[in-house]
Amino acid sequence: MKAFIVDRYGKKEKLHLREIAEPVIKENDVLVQVYSASVNLLDSKIKNGEFKLILPYKTPFVLGHDVAGVITKIGAKVSHFKVGDEVYARPADHRIGTFAGLIAMNEADVALKPKRLTMEEAASIPLVALTAWQALVEKADLKKGQKVFIQAGSGGVGTIAIQLAKYLGATVATTTSTANVEWVKALGADIVIDYKKEDFETILHDYDVVLNSQDAKTLEKSLRVLKPGGKLISISGPPDPAFTEEMRLGWPLKMVMGLLSFGTRKKAKRQHVDYSFLFMRAEGYQLSKITALIDSGIINPVIDKIFPFEKTEEALTYVESGRAKGKVVIKVI
Ligand SMILES: NC(=O)c1ccc[n+]([C@@H]2O[C@H](COP(=O)([O-])OP(=O)(O)OC[C@H]3O[C@@H](n4cnc5c(N)ncnc54)[C@H](OP(=O)(O)O)[C@@H]3O)[C@@H](O)[C@H]2O)c1
């Protein structure tokens, strides 16, 4: 099969399109023919080597964290899927590789594809929707009537998180730049702040939850828009001790990671708010709940551009620009 390979870590390193052996399935695996994949900043960060200590992929490896496709083979112990099922997934860490013709995944990471979506639309969903779910449902336990500030409402995570938060009954504030204000409002956000012209800290007060996806300065300001007892959940760091436990990191790394978030945790404590870092994980069961929300029209995909498979490198560069409006998708078939 054809696949886009990382041969060497590095910002300047290119992906290489090569013919490689088909994946071999384990007894709980499904083999999926990739119809479509989508690009995440995590792909670039992994290729650049930024995650090498946490997720030490041994080169050469196939990149790609989102897939929609059709099951072509199942392992002996697979019980929830059959050959021919249309599925989508964010494969688990250490088992990534959706920029390819085929991928083998544990069935626990897979869900049936929403019926009303095309393969391209479906591939745009798993990583960002699971991130939104794990932040707003699992960590924040966001309730009807609460106020949530979701940064970067025009991004991959933001577009889905806004729709999920509205479904949960929250009042949603978000940030984006001038050109995106109107269509982000149309996604359901109640308050849209143009970050080029206004400072969210002067507008938002007494929030229950902030989903932070930006830099350290934004993180610090976010602490101040929360009410006492509020929750600051960051997907852009710094990592907290719970994350080091989840990733089963050795003690030197645990120490370093703990120190990275020490200041933030201290400030959060002073403000009487809770700080936590989220590194999303694969989870087929949660994805099946997202399938139901999509099929009932509650969550809609937002796609900026679709690139042909051969242009995967260009798709990655486009995402790295930080200007994507929703998701960037790769059409494999
Ligand atoms: N920890 C995790 O599990 C996890 C999971 C998913 C994503 N992430 C991280 O979360 C971040 C966001 O991911 P993403 O996929 O949503 O990114 P993305 O789709 O690439 O974000 C692009 C969007 O961000 C907006 N943006 C850029 N700077 C902004 C600012 N200062 N304020 C508000 N909006 C701004 C841009 O709008 P304009 O063009 O209008 O500026 C653009 O629409 C990334 O760092 C990613 O690595 C982490």
**Which residue's CA is minimally distant from atom 22 of ligand 1?**
155
**Which residue's CA is minimally distant from atom 11 of ligand 1?**
213
Whether residue 11 is found in the same domain as residue 143:
no
Per-chain mean pLDDT for the chain: 98
Residue 167 in contact with ligand 1 by CB distance below 6 A: no
In a domain, 291, yes or no: no
Whether residue 191 is found in the same domain as residue 320:
no
Whether residue 118 is found in the same domain as residue 190:
no
Ligand 1 pocket mutation, candidates 149, 187, 235, criterion most atoms within 8 A of CB:
235
Q: How far apart are CA 306 and CA 133, in angstroms?
A: 25
Question: Domain with 167 in it: what CATH number?
Answer: 3.40.50.720
Report the run of H or E that residue 288 belongs to, with start and end.
helix 284-295
pLDDT tens, position by position, 201-222: 999 999 999 999 999 999 999 9
Closest ligand 1 atom number to CA of residue 178 = 40
In a domain, 112, yes or no: yes
Segments forming the whole domain that contains residue 56: 2-124+302-331
Dist. CA 269 → ligand 1 center (Å): 26
Whether residue 86 is found in the same domain as residue 143:
no
Ligand 1 pocket mutation, candidates 41, 286, 305, criterion most atoms within 8 A of CB:
41
pTM, two decimal places: 0.99
Residue 44 in contact with ligand 1 by CB distance below 6 A: no
Whether residue 74 is found in the same domain as residue 137:
no
Closest ligand 1 atom number to CA of residue 177 = 40
Whether residue 142 is found in the same domain as residue 166:
yes
Question: Domain with 69 in it: what CATH number?
Answer: 3.90.180.10
In a domain, 288, yes or no: no
pLDDT tens, position by position, 89-148: 999 999 999 999 999 999 999 999 999 999 999 999 999 999 999 999 999 999 999 999
- At how many degrees (to 10) do helices 262-270 and 251-260 cross? 50
In this prediction, residue 22 carries a pLDDT of: 98
pLDDT tens, position by position, 257-306: 899 999 999 999 999 999 999 999 999 999 999 999 999 999 999 999 99
Dist. CA 317 → ligand 1 center (Å): 14
User: Angle at the Cα of 129 (from 58 to 141), degrees rounded to 5?
Assistant: 115
Residue 235 in contact with ligand 1 by CB distance below 6 A: yes
In this prediction, residue 96 carries a pLDDT of: 98
Whether residue 110 is found in the same domain as residue 133:
no
Per the structure, the count of domains in the chain is: 2
